[in-house]
Amino acid sequence: MVLPQAWLQPRYKKNTYLFIYYLIQFCGHSWIFTNMTARFFSFGKDSMVDTFYAIGLVMRLCQSISLLELLHIYVGIESSHLLPRFLQLTERIILLFVVITSQEEIQGKYVVCVLFIFWNLLDMVRYTYSMLSVIGISYAALTWLSQTLWMPLYPLCVLAEAFAIYQSLPYFESFGTYSTQLPFDLSIYFPYVLKTYLMVLFIGMYFTYSHLYSERRDVLRVFALQKKKM
């Protein structure tokens, strides 16, 4: 069997891989959002309490796979800046795996449901835009939405993350999770680590927000110029 010449081109292979990756992420986040919406209309506020138990596994899978994006940027198959993406992914990984997964008492809090809604709204739009972009399809409304939706939602995400960490502090203090006694009378008291991380979280938010705003300006400018040429 002879493959078409285009299939053997590195650019085609790269775009095919990225399209499949974005499609998988879109399907995962769409499933989570649809599941959460259906459960809310079926069970009302009660569904918010067991959000993590219902969709936590798929959420952890999607966020774990998203670490591939750092590799994409590093090897050059995705054009983006490494540090801002690293900060965004680190925020989610720390909160999801270190804070929420380790403390069962936090998993039933309303803030977890709110946070998952914010994350999925952002990711469904972002992955839809990215998926269509790699195959050369663009829509003005989708481009604008993907470059604008994060402006109100990203700060709300950070606030929700900070609130979840704040609510988790008493449990880390009570159970001593991740707190460790080291040699030479040294110790790691994890609640202090989380309190320090809260300050880093807001510093990182300022840096990431500034980068995303600059990126939004550039993308919308280029998109406007392309529309004029058509």
Predicted confidence band of residue 119 (pLDDT cuts 50, 70, 90): very high
- Mean pLDDT, residues 67-93 taken together: 92
Positive or negative, the CA dihedral 77, 78, 83, 87 is negative
Residue-level pLDDT at 1: 45
Residue 88's SS3 state is helix
Residue 3 has pLDDT above 80, yes or no: no
Residue 180's SS3 state is strand
Residue 8 has pLDDT above 80, yes or no: no
Residue 4 has pLDDT above 90, yes or no: no
157-216 tens-digit pLDDT: 999 999 999 999 999 999 988 888 777 777 888 999 999 999 999 999 999 999 999 999
User: Looking up tokens 């929700």, which residue turns up?
Assistant: 160
| Residues assigned a catalytic role | 154, 161
Least Cα distance to 52 among 102, 127, 86 occurs for: 102
Residue 148's SS3 state is coil
Residue-level pLDDT at 2: 47
More confident residue, 73 or 226: 73
Residue 223 has pLDDT above 80, yes or no: no
Q: Count of residues for the chain?
A: 230
Return the bridge partners of 180, or none.
Answer: 188
DSSP, residue by residue, 107-146: HTSHHHHHHHHHHHHHHHHHHHHHHHHTTT---HHHHHHH
